[in-house]
Amino acid sequence: MNYTFSSFTDGLKSSAVREILKLTQGNAVISLAGGLPAEDYFPIEAVKEAFERVFQTGGKGSLQYGLTEGYTPLREAIGTRMAAKGVTVKPENMLITTGSQQAIYLLTRIYLSAGDVILVENPTYLAALQIFKASGVQVVGVDADEHGMLMDDLDAKLAQYKPKMVYVTPTFANPTGKVWSLERRQGLLARCKPNNVLILEDDPYGEIQFDENASYPSIFSLDEHPEGSAVLYTSTFSKTVVPALRTGWIVGDSRVIAQMAKAKQAVDLHSSTLDQQALYQLLTHFDLDGHIRTIRKEYRSRMELMKSLLQDARFADLKWSEPQGGMFFWVELPESIDASELLKKAVEKGVAFVPGVDFYAENPRRNTMRLNFTHTDNASMKLGLDRLAEALAAYKQNA
Amino acid sequence: MNYTFSSFTDGLKSSAVREILKLTQGNAVISLAGGLPAEDYFPIEAVKEAFERVFQTGGKGSLQYGLTEGYTPLREAIGTRMAAKGVTVKPENMLITTGSQQAIYLLTRIYLSAGDVILVENPTYLAALQIFKASGVQVVGVDADEHGMLMDDLDAKLAQYKPKMVYVTPTFANPTGKVWSLERRQGLLARCKPNNVLILEDDPYGEIQFDENASYPSIFSLDEHPEGSAVLYTSTFSKTVVPALRTGWIVGDSRVIAQMAKAKQAVDLHSSTLDQQALYQLLTHFDLDGHIRTIRKEYRSRMELMKSLLQDARFADLKWSEPQGGMFFWVELPESIDASELLKKAVEKGVAFVPGVDFYAENPRRNTMRLNFTHTDNASMKLGLDRLAEALAAYKQNA
């Protein structure tokens, strides 16, 4: 047999993050690579009890096929959580997905065609870039500073490219950790809506904020009623509860959601109903907000440790900002250092990170890297940064 | 906002089956529509214990992200089950999917492009047709009799259309319940392989066979070693264990599987790892083969009941064959009856089925319908067929 593949595979590179994950599985490499939450804080008892409650209350009926749109009580419970943040959505405005990754994929599938243009922050989430590129969509980066996209460049690119969509992660962006100002959020909405440009707001990290008193309103919440909204908002429980449940959701105009549900029906019929029911039980019987306060505190303390380690003299020529939430430090190395080459040295020394290059839609800066601070415990993080320092020294010596 | 959708949505109709499922949820309509297994026989204790064992043995690590390819011990356990049927596959030949529906979608995404041709049985599984049509693939039906596709027509259509793929469900086909003869299976393989035509063998129902002694070798098993095979084989635990776990798999050449895994990484990163681990625990601690023997017996007895009801004088002008396995009777009504119109009458009377029309790739026969015999208990089935008889009588009276 001679296998010949579709053009979709041309755009698909196996993500560097996941290849590194494979490389480091089960061996002694300390991984600062993945966007993994800390297992130490997984609410395993609550998850276990949630499943027990599903079997107890749902009986055999809990094991049958379910609705493509998602388990209705779960959609209602998520709606209640969103209402607490000032956003009113009905079940018909929401689709449950296999992680927010699937929400990005499904919206791309139903809304974009090969040749369409999408604007993104540059750099941005690499797995979203993969979807857009594999789908034949032209991805154009918009210039940005620490407060979000620059409105002048956005204006210019809206005029030049007539994009169908803008993809943003305005709160603790991956990989940069950046938070958009309210003004830029409003600015993006004010420019997109009159031009019929859809905004996909990806918010996996929004709940992981280190300042309990800060408020980061979603772009979705700045728009009107979901019906007619220019914004589709997606989030996930992978970072706040546990990744293994693979449960995300997307909200927006019911006509867009309905098209996504039809696509999901073709793609996988529906996501695991057991997981959805368990998550519903967890949301209604577990103090998730209390749990989120705990992980905010713990992740902040891990971030502070990494910050203090990065302030060491061995890293004096690295540039970075202190993240206000999320899971990552975005680090700029000296111009002469190619982070992908540095990674090889680092893995030899026993530490892994993600080179920044794959996060760029265009004009990649090869002297960048992303460091995760949530997954490793204090001892491993110290050891990991020691090893990174060794790798840097070895790289410079050979150069 | 003015929303404009991609061409993918043009081909997507919400499946008639699922719309009817929605219609009948929570009310008194007896549904003979869905492909639902009987809840009475769900091994809920085994599923519950499997989850307990996951939390007990896996601890917090069981709640982390997993590999896109699927939980390795589960892939090995499925490999062991397949080996018992004479097929040797390694983990790299297998991808775990969210039901076999996702396997069909992913293979279509990486292998077929708009304008490519796929050959199918006519009628065939409607949700597969949806994927192909939404993807812009030209779907061509091959003539068939009760033993499978007719080799003459297959030859003609291979020559005429130069298809990239053939999609078949050779064992207890949906909707027809048909079983392909060994000769036709061999014939399909012998014709496709030399022409580089991939065969997608969809086998969700293969284990639900009523004759314990019969043997229905998969087309995949008739080909050589998975490497270089012309066949991709997909199946699911939705019919034999429970649907809620949404766990299917696909096996074949490792290069094709690798491309599918990369696509899956973009589509949803990975399927629920909790469900995969629970299924692994179930496969290693529960007598699944004993359970399958039980449901074969029970489903056979339900099939026998439906057969005896269909033999009633009120249904004398209906044509059907006795299924040797699976979940459905495929019924031909008199030429003058449009099953979609009959369905409206039937729902009024309190019974639902699936009109045959949506299962056809081309030249639909509107006087056909699919009746599920696995989901309803004996009393409901009797009542359901009474109501169907009333609906038929009412239809004829009005005609």
Q: Is A47 in Cβ contact with B265 (below 8 Å)? A: no
Q: Is the pLDDT of residue B15 over 80?
A: no
Considering the domain architecture, whether residues A282 and A302 belong to the same structural domain is answered as no
ipTM over 0.90: yes
Q: How far is B79 from chain A (nearest CA, A)?
A: 21
A232: pLDDT strictly greater than 60:
yes
Q: Which residues of B touch A58 (CB under 8 A)?
A: none
Is the predicted pLDDT of residue B24 greater than 70, yes or no? no
Q: Residue B35: inside a domain, yes or no?
A: yes
pLDDT in tens, A15-44: 665 666 566 666 689 999 988 999 999 999
Whether B297 and B352 map to the same domain: the answer is yes
User: Does A250 fall in a domain?
Assistant: yes
Above 80 in pLDDT, residue A225? no
Q: Say how many domains are in chain A.
A: 2
Question: Which of A261, A286, A311 is the last residue before a domain boundary?
Answer: A286
Mark whether A73 and A188 lie in a shared domain.
yes
Digit-coded pLDDT (tens) for B202-240: 999 999 999 999 999 999 999 977 999 999 999 999 999
Residue B296 shares a structural domain with residue B267: no
**pLDDT confidence of residue A20:** 64
Q: Is residue B143 part of a domain?
A: yes
pLDDT in tens, B79-105: 999 998 889 999 999 999 999 999 999
Model confidence pLDDT, tens digit, residues B269-290 = 999 999 999 999 999 999 999 9
Q: What is the pLDDT of residues A268-303, one digit of tens each?
A: 999 999 999 999 999 999 999 999 999 999 999 999
Q: B57 and B18, same structural domain?
A: no
Considering the domain architecture, whether residues A176 and A302 belong to the same structural domain is answered as: no
Answer yes or no: do B6 and A253 touch at CB < 8 A.
no
Contact B127 A265 (CB under 8 A): yes
Interface touch A272/B267, C-beta < 8 Å: no
How many angstroms separate the CA of residue B117 from the nearest CA in chain A? 13
Residues B305 and B281 placed together within one structural domain of the fold = no
Where a domain ends, among B237, B254, B287? Answer: B287
- Chain B positions touching A93 (Cβ under 8 A) are none
Pair (A93, A228) in one structural domain: yes
**Same domain flag for B131 and B259:** yes
Domain hosting A31: range is: 7-43+289-398
User: Of B287, B304, B324, which one is at a domain's C-terminal end?
Assistant: B287
Q: Where residue B363 falls among pLDDT bands split at 50, 70, 90?
A: very high
Q: Which residues of A touch B113 (CB under 8 A)?
A: 6-7
Q: Nearest CA of chain B to the CA of A82: how many Å?
A: 22
Contact list in A for residue B6 (CB cut-off 8 A) is 109-113
CB-nearest partner of A18 from B265, B268, B274: B265
Which of A34, A105, A261 is opposite residue B268, by nearest beta carbon? A105
Q: What is the pLDDT of residue A85?
A: 84
Query: Cα distance from A211 to chain B (closest Cα, Å)?
Result: 26
Q: Which residues of A touch B31 (CB under 8 A)?
A: none
| Within-domain flag for B2 | no
Q: The CATH number of the domain where A81 resides is what?
A: 3.40.640.10
List pLDDT tens digits, range A292-336. Answer: 999 999 999 999 999 999 999 999 999 999 999 999 999 999 999
CB contact (8 A) between residue A113 and residue B164: no
pLDDT reported for residue B10 = 87
| Residues A92 and A217 reside in one and the same domain | yes
Task: Examine the pLDDT at A224 and tell me if it is beyond 80.
Answer: no
B178, B181, B182, B183 alpha-carbon torsion, rounded to 10°: -140
Confidence of residue A399 (pLDDT cuts 50, 70, 90): confident
Q: Would B166 be classed as within a structural domain? A: yes
Query: For A361-391, what is each residue's pLDDT tens digit?
Result: 999 999 999 999 999 999 999 999 999 999 9
Residues of A in contact with B55 (CB under 8 A): 44, 47-48, 51
pLDDT at res. A118: 98
Residues A369, A394: one domain? yes
Asked if pLDDT for residue B158 goes beyond 90, the answer is yes
Tell whether B1 is covered by a domain.
no
Which of A64, A71, A358 to mutate against chain B (most B CBs within 10 Å)? A64
Q: Is residue A130 situated within a structural domain? A: yes
Nearest CA in chain B to A45: B55
Residue B126 in domain: yes
Q: Answer yes or no: do A152 and A166 share one domain.
A: yes
CB contact under 8 Å between B259 and A9, yes or no, is yes
User: Which pLDDT value is given to residue B220?
Assistant: 96
Mean pLDDT of B234-255: 95
Q: What is the pLDDT of residue B86?
A: 84
Cβ <8 Å between A271 and B272: yes
User: For the domain that residue B350 is a member of, what is the CATH number?
Assistant: 3.90.1150.10
> pLDDT tens for residues A113-149?
999 999 999 999 999 999 999 999 999 999 999 999 9
